[in-house]
Structure 1
Amino acid sequence: MSKLSKEEARKRRHKRVRKTVKGTPTQPRISVHKSLNHIYAQVIDDFREKTLVSASTVDTEIREKIENGGNVEAAKVVGENLAKRALDAGIKKVVFDRSGYKYHGRIKALADAAREGGLEF
């Protein structure tokens, strides 16, 4: 038997979690993706299959505030910005989808910043 790579194992975990975590019109899903240099988050209504709000370290508004996009400080800024945009769009309650990543480091920082920004999950 061959051992799974880290990415393949993460994708398996993500598939398994997505069977139960669903975004609805009243309580959409926050999906997170991270790469070495950036972190991306979006609020998704799975019922209509639409992205309602998004934020990432690639956005020019966020890019001006951070030096490096692949660290915990950048994830905090993305979480704060995502919460602000979601509240402006009338979204208060969400479910958090960590996309198979461990809940620590950048993922935890983004989630905590979104909670502090006013989102409930």
Structure 2
Amino acid sequence: MKIQKKNELAQKRRWRIRRKVVGTPERPRLSLHLSNKHIYAQAIDDEQGATLAFVSTLGKELREQNLKANSAGAAALGKAFGEKAKAAGIEKVVFDRNGRKYHGCVKTFADAAREAGLNF
């Protein structure tokens, strides 16, 4: 399978999910992005087009821990995101996996965010 075809199929999955998953001010969309080296998570209000909370492994507080895009990094980032979201007044979110399976780092991040107090 060509890389171009693989990327096109992944983009179609993202678009298909985004048609159904919409963030509101009461229940923003928790978007999770995993690259080869880092993990990024943000809570987005799609009605206003605004990011309400953002955490990544590149952030100051998490960069010192030298986290990577693995299960340990996903667990630490999930906990940090849950705390930051609670501080911003966010309790409920809609989880956007960006076309990835609910397995591995995605599942670890979600479990850690739930333990920190987020509901989804």
Q: TM-score, normalised by structure 1?
A: 0.92
Paired AA for residue 35 in structure 2: S
Q: How many residues align?
A: 118
Partner of 1:71: 70
In structure 2, the residue matched to 1:49 is 49
SS of the residue aligned with 1:44? strand
Aligned to 1:30: 30
Is there any run of 5+ residues in structure 1 with no aligned partner, and where? none
Root-mean-square deviation (Å): 1.4
The residue aligned with 1:103 is: 102
Using the TM superposition, give the Cα deviation of residue 11 of structure 1 relative to its aligned residue in structure 2, in angstroms.
1.3
Provide TM-score, normalisation by structure 2. Answer: 0.93
The CA deviation at 1:40 is 0.4
Q: Offset of 1:61 from its aligned partner? A: 0.3
Give the secondary-structure state (helix, strand or coil) at the position aligned to 1:108. Answer: helix
Deviations 1:41-93 (A, max 9, x none): 0000001100000111111201222x341211001111111100000011000
Deviation of residue 118 (structure 1)?
Answer: 0.2
Contact kept, 8 Å, 1:37 with 1:68, in 2: the verdict is no
Note the 1:1-40 alignment, pairs <5 A.
4-5=5-6, 7-40=7-40
Structure 2, unpaired ranges of 5+: none
* Structure having the larger proportion of residues in helix: 2
Letter paired with 1:4:
K
